[in-house]
Amino acid sequence: MIRFPKPDVEQFFQTYLIRSFGVSSDESRLVFSSTISGKFNLWAMDLQGETTYPFPLTYNDQMCSFIKLDPQGRHILTAFDNDGNENYQLNALRWNGGEPMPLFEGISPEDKHEFVHLSEDGKRIYYSTSKDNPNYLNSRVYHLETEEDRLLIEGRDTTTELAAVSPDEQTLAYTKMYANTYYVSYILRPDGQEICLTPSPEQVHTAGNVQFLDNENVIFATDFDSEFTYLAHFHIPSGTFKQLRGIDKESVSLIRLHKETGTVYIVTEKGVEDRLYAYSLESGVLEPIPLPVDILEQLVVARSGQLYVLGRGAVKPFNIYRYDGSRWAMLTKNVMTGLTEEDMVSPEVVTYTSFDGMHIEALLFRAKEQHANGCTVFWPHGGPQAAERKQFRAMFQYIIARGYNIFCPNFRGSTGYGSSFVKLVEQDWGEGPRKDCLAGMDWLFEQGISSRNRLFVLGGSYGGYMTLLLAGRNPEYFKAAIDIFGVSNLFTFYNSVPDHWKPIMEQWLGDPQRDRERFIKDTPITYLDNMVNPMLIIQGANDPRVVKAESDQIVEALRAKGRDVEYIVFDDEGHGITKKANEKIAYARMVEFLDRCR
Give the C-alpha separation, 551 to 482, whole Å: 12
Task: For residues 566 and 487, state if they share a domain.
Answer: yes
Domain interval for residue 303: 252-335
Confidence band (pLDDT; 50, 70, 90) for 1?
Answer: confident
Domains: count for the chain: 2
Query: Which residue in the list 24, 251, 354, 461 is annotated as catalytic?
Result: 461
* pLDDT band, very low/low/confident/very high, at 5 (cuts 50, 70, 90): confident
Strands 263-270 and 251-258: antiparallel
Q: What is the pLDDT of residue 9?
A: 63
Same domain, 318 and 414: no
Shared domain check, 363 and 320: no
10-25 confidence digits (pLDDT tens): 777 788 999 999 999 9
Q: SS3 string of 489-509?
A: CHHHHHHHCCHHHHHHHHHHC
Rg (CA), the chain: 24
Per-residue confidence band for 246, with pLDDT thresholds at 50, 70 and 90: very high
Q: What is the mean pLDDT of residues 526-543?
A: 97
CA distance 583 to 300: 29
351 and 315, same structural domain? no
Between CA 275 and CA 113 the distance in angstroms is 30
pLDDT recorded at residue 416: 95
How far is it, in rounded angstroms, from Cα 114 to Cα 112?
A: 7
334-374 per-position pLDDT tens digit: 988 888 888 899 999 999 999 999 999 999 999 999 889 99
Any domain includes 415: yes
User: Under 8 Å CB-to-CB from 445, ≥6 apart: which residues?
Assistant: 451, 452
Higher-confidence residue of 3 and 34: namely 34
Residue 7 has pLDDT above 90, yes or no: no
Pair (283, 389) in one structural domain: no
Structural domain includes residue 327: yes
Is 529 designated active site? no
Q: Under a CB-based contact definition with an 8 Å cutoff, are residues 449 and 506 in contact?
A: no
Last residue of a domain, one of 335, 370, 390: 335
Q: At what angle do helices 580-597 and 394-401 cross, to 10 degrees?
A: 30
Same domain, residue pair 440 and 582: yes
Catalytic residue (one of 294, 428, 436, 543):
543
What is the per-residue pLDDT for 307? 98
Residue 184 lies in a domain: no
Specify if 230 maps to a domain. Answer: no
What residue type is assigned to position 112 of the chain? K
Q: What is the pLDDT of residues 256-299, one digit of tens each?
A: 999 999 999 999 999 999 999 999 999 999 999 999 999 999 99
C-alpha distances (whole Å) from 47 to each of 24, 54, 98, 122, 305 are 10, 10, 21, 22, 16
Q: Would you say residue 78 lies in a domain?
A: no
d(CA 497, CA 550): 11
Confidence at residue 48, expressed as pLDDT on a 0 to 100 scale: 87
Q: What is the DSSP string of 286-338?
A: EEEE--SSSEEEEEEE-TTS-EEEEEEETTEEEEEEEE-SS-EEE-S----TT
Both 374 and 517 in a single domain? yes
pLDDT category at 224 given cuts 50, 70, 90 is very high
Contacts of 104 (CB under 8 A, 6+ apart): 89, 90, 142, 149
Task: Specify the pLDDT at position 8.
Answer: 66
Sign of the alpha-carbon torsion through 565, 566, 567, 573: negative
Task: Residue 431: give its domain's CATH number.
Answer: 3.40.50.1820
Is there a domain that residue 33 lies in? no
pLDDT of 587 above 70:
yes
575 assigned to active site: yes
Q: What is the mean pLDDT of residues 443-452?
A: 97
Beta bridge partners of 540: 570
- Tell me the per-residue pLDDT of 480-510, one tens digit each, with 9 for 90 and over: 999 999 999 999 999 999 999 999 999 999 9
Give 189-205 pLDDT, tens digit per residue.
999 999 999 999 999 99
Task: Check whether residue 527 and residue 563 sit in a common domain.
Answer: yes
Whole-angstrom distance, CA of residue 185 vs CA of residue 192: 15
The residue from 310, 335, 360 where one domain ends is 335
Question: What angle is formed at CA 209 by the lines to CA 205 and CA 215, rounded to 5 degrees?
Answer: 115
466 and 517 assigned to the same domain = yes
Same domain, 318 and 356: no
356 is a domain residue: yes
Domain end: 335, 350, 368, which one?
Answer: 335
Q: 3-state DSSP call for residue 357?
A: coil
Do 430 and 538 belong together in one domain?
A: yes
Nearest to 357 by CA among 447, 441, 446, 435: 435
Q: For 107-153, what is each residue's pLDDT tens digit?
A: 999 999 999 999 999 999 999 999 999 999 999 999 999 999 999 99
Is there a contact between 472 and 526 (Cβ–Cβ < 8 Å)? Answer: yes
Q: Which of 227, 130, 128, 124 is nearest to 173 (CA)?
A: 128
Task: Check whether residue 349 and residue 324 sit in a common domain.
Answer: no
In this structure, is residue 452 part of a structural domain?
yes
